[in-house]
């Protein structure tokens, strides 16, 4: 029987090696790649085309939510399981909107990790008991969905603030150490997420939301 191939995206090496060790102890799974940042995770996913990507949400260069959205856009059949220490509703909502197929907290048991991987690989969704309870509580209390600003990734907020300050794409790329093409892609994603059409509207939105008053 063909093994399920997995790509692990986790910035902390000791945690990444621990996850890999757990996975390799299960004969149904095979680790085909490892990434320590979001951009590498996207690149490896496109190259290796794993069955499942295990994704942390707090990653350098490109955060996990951005990486999930990018992988899903380019490889819609690839399944993604978020394995994270973030149990707050806003992280969960952002991951779901990005297209995540499962959401598991890092304090979950080894057996639950295996079950989550198997379920996601089989085309099912998987959300841990704690996550399901959080969603149920949100429904009961009538919590409002996150605002558009809350749905932006950390990097998207950076780009938005710098663009509103009048920096060119080249200036922004130099400031946050990414390519001009990546900055352009972030701006395109910002316009889609916020329902805006131009850089001028992005700047106006930034001012209205008071984003320029936030500490960097």
Give the pLDDT confidence of 155-190 residue by residue, as tens digits.
Answer: 888 888 888 888 889 999 999 988 999 888 888 878
DSSP assignment letter at 173: H
Q: Which pLDDT belongs to residue 5?
A: 97
Cα separation of 35 and 93, whole Å? 24
* Residue that wins the pLDDT comparison between 11 and 190: 11
Query: DSSP string of 56-120?
Result: -S--SSS-HHHHHHHHHHH-TTSEEEEEES--SHHHHHHHHHHT-SEEEETTS-HHHHHHHHHHH
CA dihedral sign, ordered 43, 44, 50, 53: negative
The CATH code of domain 149-213 reads: 1.10.10.10
Average of per-residue pLDDT across 48-61: 94
* CATH classification number, 4-141, choose in 2.60.40.10, 1.10.274.30, 3.60.110.10, 3.40.50.2300: 3.40.50.2300
Q: In this predicted model, what pLDDT tens digit does every residue of 70-117 receive, in sequence order?
A: 999 999 999 999 998 876 777 888 888 888 999 998 888 899 999 999
pTM value surpassing 0.85:
no
How far the first Cα of the chain sits from its last, in Å, is 51
Residue 151's pLDDT band (cuts 50, 70, 90):
low
pLDDT value of position 1: 73
pLDDT, mean over the chain? 85
- Round to whole Å and give the CA distance between 7 and 211: 35
Domain boundaries, the chain: 4-141, 149-213
pLDDT band at 2 (very low <50, low <70, confident <90, very high): confident
Q: What is the DSSP letter of 152?
A: S
pLDDT: is 104 or 200 the higher one?
A: 104
**Model pLDDT, residue 17:** 93
């Amino acid at each position: 029987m063909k093994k399920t191939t997995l790509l692990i995206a986790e910035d902390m090496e000791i945690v990444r090696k621990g996850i890999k060790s757990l996975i390799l102890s299960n004969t149904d799974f095979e680790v085909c790649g490892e990434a320590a940042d979001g951009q590498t995770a996207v690149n490896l996913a496109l190259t290796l085309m794993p069955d499942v990507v295990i994704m942390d949400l707090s990653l350098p260069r490109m955060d996990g939510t951005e990486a999930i959205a990018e992988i899903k856009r380019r490889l819609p059949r690839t399944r993604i399981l978020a394995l994270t220490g973030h149990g707050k509703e806003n992280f969960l909502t952002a991951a779901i909107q990005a297209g995540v197929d499962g959401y598991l907290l890092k304090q979950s048991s080894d057996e639950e990790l295996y079950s989550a991987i198997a379920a996601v690989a089989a085309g099912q969704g998987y959300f841990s008991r704690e996550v399901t309870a959080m969603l149920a509580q949100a429904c009961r209390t009538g919590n409002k969905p996150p605002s558009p600003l809350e749905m932006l990734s950390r990097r998207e907020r950076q780009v938005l603030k710098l663009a509103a300050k009048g920096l060119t794409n080249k200036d922004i790329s130099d400031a946050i150490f990414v390519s001009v093409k990546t900055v352009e892609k972030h701006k395109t994603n910002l316009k889609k997420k916020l329902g805006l059409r131009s850089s001028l509207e992005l700047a106006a939105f930034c001012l209205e939301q008071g984003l320029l008053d936030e500490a960097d």
